[in-house]
Amino acid sequence: MSDTISVNGEQHSLPSDPRTSLLDFLRHDLGLTGTKKGCDHGQCGACTVIVNGIRINSCLTLAAMHDGDEITTIEGLGTPENPSALQKAFLEHDGFQCGYCTPGQICSATAMLQEIANNWPSDASESLEGEMAATGEEIRERMSGNLCRCGAYANIVAAISEVAEESA
């Protein structure tokens, strides 16, 4: 049984208590507190991280199930000195108030832009096939797993739209 997990490029041993969620492993065992615990039931998206390029709720998966996987958290996307394009855009567009949902929003949006680049459809897509575009309607649907209790949605969509346009 392989017992390591890669987090932001660093190898770590998996926890001994199988009950440890990936979220608790990141926060408590590794001290990566950027990933947030909101509801702990997959409803709010504050715990969103990227596993092997795919975004998931880290609260609804056990760390033990991720042997050999590569995890990227908000800490792995950029630094205060060298933020990612989305991190910069969230600052410029004031895409938050309290900031608690922000790491999840940014991890989610990072993977979402890749999904659009892959031409994966969403419930908002008129056609299931062909090229997908990051319209406001698409962004709102595709980001519906990330709640913002402060209601900064308009600025979150503006921040994501800007980065989507730049990378289009």
Partner 1 sequence: MRPFSYTRARTLDDAAQLTHDDTALAIAGGTNLLDLMKLQVETPETLADINRIGFGGIEDTDDGGLSIGALASNTETAVHPRVRSDYPVLARAILAGATQQLRNKATTGGNLCQRTRCFYFTNIDQPCNKREPGSGCGAIDGIAKLHAVLGTSDQCIATYPGDMAVALSALDAQVEIAKPGGDTRTVPVRDFHCLPGDTPWRENVLEEGELITAVALPAPVGGTQIYRKVRERSSYAFALVSVAAVVEIEHGKFTRADLAFGGLAHKPWHDPRIGEALIGKVPSEDLFDKAADILLEDARGFGENDFKIPLARRTLHAVLQNATEAAA
Q: Which residues bind partner 1 (CB under 8 A)?
A: 1, 18-19, 21, 40-42, 45, 48, 54-57, 60-62, 64-65, 108, 111-112, 115, 118, 120-123, 125, 128-129, 140-142, 144-145
**Closer to partner 1 by Cβ: residue 94 or 151:** 151
Q: Give me the DSSP letters along 134-153.
A: --HHHHHHHTTT---TT--H
**Closer to partner 1 by Cβ: residue 41 or 165:** 41
Nearest distance from C-beta of residue 19 to partner 1, angstroms:
5
**Closer to partner 1 by Cβ: residue 62 or 85:** 62
Specify which residues 10 forms β-bridges with: 7
Nearest distance from C-beta of residue 111 to partner 1, angstroms:
8
Give the CA distances from residue 145 to residues 45, 47, 51, 53, 166, in Å, rounded to whole numbers and listed in that order.
5, 11, 16, 17, 24
**Closer to partner 1 by Cβ: residue 17 or 92:** 17
Please give the structure tokens belonging to residue 97: 């108030």
At residue 56, the 3 state secondary structure works out as strand
Cα–Cα dist 104/130, whole Å: 29
Please give the structure tokens belonging to residue 85: 């394009």
Nearest distance from C-beta of residue 142 to partner 1, angstroms:
6
Please give the structure tokens belonging to residue 56: 């998931």
Nearest distance from C-beta of residue 141 to partner 1, angstroms:
5
